[in-house]
């Protein structure tokens, strides 16, 4: 039996690790142990409930207004005790969060091999996204197994002289999406059931990046507000992030605007099926750039760069920046130019076939751990 300790702490990590955890727990040659740091305490539980995942350990690090330093120090101290007690043969971390980076370092200091799920993503700007770009670079230096979603990610690692134990697997988020997307889905949030997806251009909007806080976020929100005010057939759904700084800006810009629906964060099933029904996605999220193209939805990214260039090259995603004029112009172009819209809808998704988790497990089982 290979003892595998999987560590995650945020909602996106939980979503992307969930299909892998389900396959790990059912594999006859693996003893799967699950640890959450609860970096996103309120936002992670619904994902665990959706996929029926019960962590063996919860570090419970979250406190109000916590800093990155708080996350690092608590995770270091609490995870170290668990790793010493459990003695796993490999620790799996996901992506680029502070939980993932810190957990990889704790495993390394205990001389435990690290497997990096979603390896090889880069913007080559250490402050964007912050602190994620440096987090994933740290993990790449430490990791013994690199599970790259795409060939481009694997090539990026190769360019950094990381050439051993690099596996192109596809992205586990596609595995998760295929598990929960349903035709004729009825929402638990009844407000969503009242939206006219057939006759209006209902757009899903998310925005939460630290680098967008302040003027960039105000620009983005203002552009969206003006598009809605000028076009009666456009409606926005904004599941608003828990960060109070984001809520202050959103309430200031969007207060009293009809057809801009500010709602609480949705659970993963609700969100995925909303994405499946909407006309267009505008986001600064990373994972959504992978998910939405699998559902045939164009994605406009309100950032200045992306660590997911495959989708841009494939034509499913376009980066539109954070400047008011450009954001407004680019959204309107996709909303009202049918040929542009259709070309993005019909582009090929580069992120896999829904079998990434199986490929990762095969690599682990066939290794010399």
Residues recognised as catalytic: 96, 118, 132, 208, 210, 241
Q: Are 225 and 254 in contact (CB under 8 A)?
A: yes
Q: Are 206 and 217 in contact (CB under 8 A)?
A: no
Q: What residues form DSSP beta bridges with 57?
A: 35
Instruction: For residues 115 and 95, give the distance between their C-alpha atoms in angstroms, rounded to a whole number.
Output: 11
Instruction: For residues 248 and 264, give the distance between their C-alpha atoms in angstroms, rounded to a whole number.
Output: 14
Here the tokens at position 11 are 């909602």
Residue indicated by tokens 């090929």? 348
Instruction: For residues 14 and 16, give the distance between their C-alpha atoms in angstroms, rounded to a whole number.
Output: 6
SS3 at position 288: helix
Instruction: For residues 346 and 342, give the distance between their C-alpha atoms in angstroms, rounded to a whole number.
Output: 6
Beta strand ranges found along 249-314 (DSSP E): 260-263, 280-283, 299-301
Helix orientation angle between 98-109 and 132-142, rounded to the nearest 10 degrees: 20
Q: Which residues contact 11 (CB under 8 A, 6 or more apart)?
A: 40, 43, 44, 47, 268
Category of 342 on φ-ψ map: left (φ > 0), alpha (ψ -120 to 50) or beta = alpha
Instruction: For residues 294 and 88, give the distance between their C-alpha atoms in angstroms, rounded to a whole number.
Output: 35
Question: Which H or E run includes 330?
Answer: helix 324-336
Q: Are 43 and 10 in contact (CB under 8 A)?
A: yes
Here the tokens at position 3 are 């003892």
């Amino acid at each position: 039996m290979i003892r595998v300790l999987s560590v995650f702490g945020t909602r996106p990590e939980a979503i992307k690790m969930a299909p892998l955890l389900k396959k790990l727990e059912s594999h006859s040659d693996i003893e799967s142990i699950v640890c959450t740091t609860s970096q996103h305490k309120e936002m992670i539980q619904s994902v665990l409930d959706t996929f029926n995942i019960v962590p063996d350990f919860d570090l419970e690090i979250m406190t109000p207004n916590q800093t990155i330093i708080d996350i690092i120090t608590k995770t270091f101290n609490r995870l170290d005790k668990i790793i010493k007690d459990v003695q796993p043969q490999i620790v799996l971390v996901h992506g680029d969060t502070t939980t993932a980076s810190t957990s990889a370092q704790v495993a390394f200091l205990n001389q435990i091999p690290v497997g990096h799920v979603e390896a090889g993503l880069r913007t080559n700007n250490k402050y964007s996204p912050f602190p994620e770009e440096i987090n994933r670079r740290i993990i790449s230096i430490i990791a013994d197994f690199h599970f790259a979603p795409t060939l481009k990610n694997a090539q990026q690692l190769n360019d950094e002289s990381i050439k051993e134990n690099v596996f192109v697997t596809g992205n586990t988020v596609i595995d998760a999406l295929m598990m929960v997307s349903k035709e004729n889905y009825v929402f638990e949030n009844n407000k969503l059931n009242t939206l006219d997806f057939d006759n209006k251009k209902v757009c899903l909007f998310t925005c939460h990046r630290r680098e967008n806080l302040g003027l960039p976020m105000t620009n983005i929100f203002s552009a969206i507000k003006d598009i809605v005010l000028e076009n009666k057939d456009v409606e926005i759904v904004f599941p608003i992030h828990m960060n109070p700084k984001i809520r202050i800006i959103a309430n200031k810009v969007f207060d009293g605007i009809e057809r801009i629906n500010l709602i609480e964060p949705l659970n993963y099933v609700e969100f995925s099926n909303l994405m499946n029904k909407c006309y267009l996605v505008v986001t600064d999220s990373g994972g959504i750039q992978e998910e939405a193209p699998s559902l045939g939805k164009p994605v406009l990214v309100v950032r200045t760069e992306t660590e997911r260039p495959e989708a841009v090259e494939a034509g499913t995603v376009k980066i539109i920046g954070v400047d008011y004029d450009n954001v407004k112009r680019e959204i309107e172009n996709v909303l009202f130019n049918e040929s542009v819209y259709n070309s993005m809808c019909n582009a090929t998704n580069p992120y896999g076939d829904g079998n990434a988790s199986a490929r990762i497990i095969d690599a682990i089982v066939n290794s010399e751990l």
